[in-house]
């Protein structure tokens, strides 16, 4: 009994604490903003050079926030503003990209198939942009030349995929002395992966020796957590794979500890955010040098390959893969088997990932994520049926003992110690475990949390409709109907189970459905759908068990016979 009381109060206290924390984030007192740093008064076009990386990394400077920003008017003479480099516009069936002819740098990338909100279908998610809010770019180049500051040429200013399955965007560069480079961006239909090929033609009289590099630059974005915004709980920043494990690099740690360096023959760097990412993945299974650092509130991740030598009259091609798009796990795995680790399921990945795979399998059959959630919930319930059956039988026997328990409470109403001892003796004699009712909760909580992260982090369920008023399983129920159904189901479930414990504990249990209803009102509707389905299945199972145990009591009063449920 004490264990059950402790578990109930601990769970209740945890929910109150989480609610209080979320409330403080949204409505608590806000700290007084600090005075702006003196450096903000400097011109936006001034780029402070970063610390020079070691020799095996590209010596690159961090761009200023306005370095590639679109200007409303042409710069006037004498202003000192550098002209904007020409860009080419590339459109595929899933990507809208702008590539600067300075260095062949990707300076803008939008996702037409992913609107920022359900009610704004014409406003796509933008992952890379010259502006401050989504500032980012991906540079690729060769050392010693052509680097990200070299000027390329293109045959036209726009490229569209049309009816083709592959779109190749070629850029060319020459030093005028026999060395030329053709940089090709290869886009495939339906894919967010971009293959970058750089072919060096050495027409000089001496050998060319150099390496290729890529640099992913992305803004750091600090987001205040809010119980009304599930996206605020997702990590936003750099994530790396060093050949052994994936690791998230926090902004404060990079500021405090300095650049993060590693070398591996199988790694990648990425800038992740809720549902989306930008990544650089080397193609060769050879050692690469990686470096991630913070400078001017931006993450700068550099990747450098091994040096090669190209003899006079010879050619060689450097390749690597970029990924700019949603965290579609099948596409990520096609680029690199470890790239799906950018989907941040948190500490319960060991449960969340299998759940996602199971959901995906079911979804391929029913083509509706809501129905898939219902069916997977039923499968989980079936998997734990025998375990919860034992708990249900114990609760049914507890229900039958209620008259005898009330008699004991009347007899020992002035002696709590004697009452507790008499109740424990009764439980022991009747082979009833009063804490058995906690078992289903303990079993459900890890799956509940795993389902939460699957729904929050899996872009496959972003803005996915279910039925009727539920048009987005990853956001809350707009009319709070599902939470109300859940509260009613939990209230009915309580009526099936015995009311045990002291009066205060029983009153707490009676208000739990109301507390859960309010708490779940702001959770993703897909998660509430899971809990409603699980509760209804639990009600059906407990009703069946209560009926069987009652029939056993009539056929074998005082007996020990146990039948199958």
- The pLDDT score that the predictor gives to residue 225 is 59
Average pLDDT in the 416-421 region?
Answer: 78
Contacts of 244 (CB under 8 A, 6+ apart): none
pLDDT at 233: 65
pLDDT of residue 62: 46
Structure confidence at residue 53 (pLDDT): 36
DSSP collapsed to 3 states, 65-115: CCCCCCCCCCCCCCCCCCCCCCEEEEECCCCEEEEECECCEEEEEEEEEEE
Residue 552 has pLDDT above 80, yes or no: no
- Give residue 406's pLDDT: 73
Hey, how many other C-beta atoms are within 10 angstroms of the C-beta on 19?
15
% the chain with pLDDT above 90: 41
- Phi and psi, residue 558, nearest 5°: 80, 0
Select the more confidently predicted residue: 531 or 39.
Answer: 531
Is the model's pLDDT at 77 over the cut of 80? no
pLDDT tops 50 at residue 128: yes
pLDDT higher for 18 or 93? 93
At 380-398, the pLDDT tens digits run 888 877 777 666 666 666 6
CA distances from 407 to 291, 403, 419, 422 (A): 73, 6, 10, 11
Query: 287-333: per-residue pLDDT in tens?
Result: 899 999 987 778 899 999 989 999 999 999 999 999 999 999 999 99
Q: 86-222+230-344 — its CATH code?
A: 2.70.98.90
Please state, in angstroms and rounded to a whole number, the distance separating the CA atoms of residues 421 and 408.
10
In this predicted structure, what is the pLDDT of residue 364?
A: 94
- Residue 335 gets the label, from left (phi > 0), alpha (psi -120 to 50) or beta, of alpha
Please tell me the predicted confidence (pLDDT) of residue 436. 58
Please say if the pLDDT value at position 105 is more than 80. yes
Alpha-carbon torsion (545, 551, 554, 560), positive or negative:
negative
DSSP string, 471-511: --TTS--TT-HHHHHHHHHHHHHHHHS---S-HHHHHHHHH
pLDDT surpasses 90 at 496 = no
Task: Look at 77-86, 122-131, 148-157, 510-519 and tell me which has the smallest mean pLDDT.
Answer: 77-86
Residue 280: which H helix or E strand, with range? strand 276-282
**What are the residue boundaries of the structural domains of the chain, listed by start?**
86-222+230-344, 356-555
Of the candidates 290, 265, 288, 270, the one whose C-alpha atom is nearest the C-alpha of residue 280 is 270
Percent of the chain at pLDDT above 70? 72
Is residue 255 predicted with pLDDT exceeding 60? yes
Pairing of strands 298-304, 308-310: unpaired
From 148-162, 331-345, 416-430, 474-488, the region with the lowest mean pLDDT: 416-430
Q: In the prediction, which pLDDT does 461 show?
A: 86
- Grade residue 50 by pLDDT with cuts at 50, 70 and 90: very low
Lowest mean pLDDT among 155-169, 207-221, 542-556: 542-556
More confident residue, 233 or 286: 286
Q: How confident is the model at residue 221 (pLDDT cuts 50, 70, 90)?
A: confident
pLDDT for the residue 414 = 75
Least confident interval from 173-182, 210-219, 329-338, 404-413:
404-413
Between 18 and 374, the more confident residue is 374
| Separation CA 347–CA 82 (nearest Å) | 47
**Rounded mean pLDDT, 445-450:** 81
Q: Considering the chain, what is the average pLDDT of its residues? A: 79
Token pair for residue 550?
Answer: 């009652």
The average pLDDT across 473-490 equals 89
Greater confidence, 503 or 268? 268
Of 56-60, 206-210, 220-224, 241-245, the one with minimum mean pLDDT is 56-60
The predicted pLDDT at position 55 comes to: 34
Between 233 and 370, where is the model more confident? Answer: 370
Task: Tell me how far apart the alpha carbons of residues 340 and 333 are, in angstroms, rounded to a whole number.
Answer: 6
Which CA distances in Å does 181 have to 87, 170, 185, 197? 18, 10, 13, 10
> For residues 99 and 107, what is the distance between their CA atoms, to the nearest angstrom?
6
pLDDT over 70 at 117, yes or no: yes
Phi and psi at residue 14, to the nearest 5°: -65, -45
Strand-pair category, 315-326 with 308-310 = unpaired
pLDDT at 83: 55
């Amino acid at each position: 009994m004490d264990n059950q009381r402790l578990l109930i109060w601990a769970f209740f206290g945890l929910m109150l604490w989480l609610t209080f924390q979320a409330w403080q984030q949204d409505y608590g007192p806000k700290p007084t903003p600090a005075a702006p740093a003196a450096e903000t008064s400097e011109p936006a076009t001034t780029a402070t050079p970063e610390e020079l990386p070691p020799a095996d990394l590209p010596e690159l400077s961090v761009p200023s926030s306005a370095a590639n920003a679109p200007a409303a008017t042409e710069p006037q003479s004498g202003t000192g503003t550098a002209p904007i480099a020409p860009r080419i516009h590339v459109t595929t069936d899933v990507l809208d990209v702008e590539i600067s002819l300075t260095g062949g740098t990707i300076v803008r990338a939008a996702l037409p198939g992913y609107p920022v909100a359900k009610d704004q279908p014409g406003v796509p998610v933008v992952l890379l942009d010259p502006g401050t809010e989504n500032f980012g770019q991906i540079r690729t180049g060769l050392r010693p030349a052509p680097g990200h500051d070299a000027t390329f040429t293109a045959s036209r200013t726009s490229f569209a995929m049309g009816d083709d399955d592959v779109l190749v965007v070629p850029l060319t560069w020459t030093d005028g002395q026999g060395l030329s480079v053709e940089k090709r961006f290869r886009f495939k239909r339906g894919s967010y992966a971009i293959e970058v090929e750089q072919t060096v033609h050495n027409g000089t009289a001496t050998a060319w020796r150099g390496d290729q590099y890529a640099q992913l630059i992305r803004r750091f974005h600090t987001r205040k957590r809010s119980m009304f915004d599930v996206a605020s709980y997702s990590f936003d920043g750099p994530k790396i794979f060093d050949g052994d494990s994936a690791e998230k690099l926090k902004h404060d740690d990079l500021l405090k500890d300095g650049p993060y360096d590693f070398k591996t023959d199988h790694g990648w760097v990425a800038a992740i955010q809720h549902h989306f990412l930008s990544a650089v993945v080397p193609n060769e299974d050879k050692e690469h040098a990686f470096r991630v650092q913070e400078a001017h509130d931006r993450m700068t991740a550099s990747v450098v390959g091994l040096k090669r030598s190209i003899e006079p009259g010879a050619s060689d091609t450097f390749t690597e893969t970029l990924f700019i798009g949603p965290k579609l796990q099948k596409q990520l795995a096609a680029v690199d088997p470890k790239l799906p680790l950018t989907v941040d399921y948190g500490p319960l990945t060991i449960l969340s990932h299998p759940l996602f795979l199971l959901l995906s399998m079911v979804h391929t059959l029913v083509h509706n994520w809501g129905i898939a959630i219902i069916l997977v919930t039923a499968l989980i319930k079936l998997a734990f049926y025998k375990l919860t059956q034992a708990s249900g039988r114990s609760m049914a026997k507890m229900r039958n003992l209620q008259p005898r328990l009330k008699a004991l409470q009347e007899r020992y109403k002035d002696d709590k110690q004697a009452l507790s001892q008499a109740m424990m003796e009764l439980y022991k004699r009747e082979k009833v475990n009063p804490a058995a009712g906690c078992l289903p909760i303990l079993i459900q909580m890890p799956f509940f949390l795993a389902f939460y992260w699957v729904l929050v982090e899996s872009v496959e369920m972003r803005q996915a409709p279910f039925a009727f008023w539920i048009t987005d399983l990853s956001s809350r129920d707009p009319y709070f109907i599902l939470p109300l159904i859940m509260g009613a189901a939990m209230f009915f479930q309580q009526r099936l189970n015995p009311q045990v414990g002291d009066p205060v504990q029983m009153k707490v249990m009676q208000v739990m459905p109301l507390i859960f209803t309010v708490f779940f009102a702001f959770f993703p509707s897909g998660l509430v759908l899971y809990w409603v389905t699980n509760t209804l299945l639990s009600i059906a199972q407990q009703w069946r068990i209560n009926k069987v145990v009652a029939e056993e009591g009539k056929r074998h009063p005082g007996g020990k016979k146990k039948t199958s449920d």
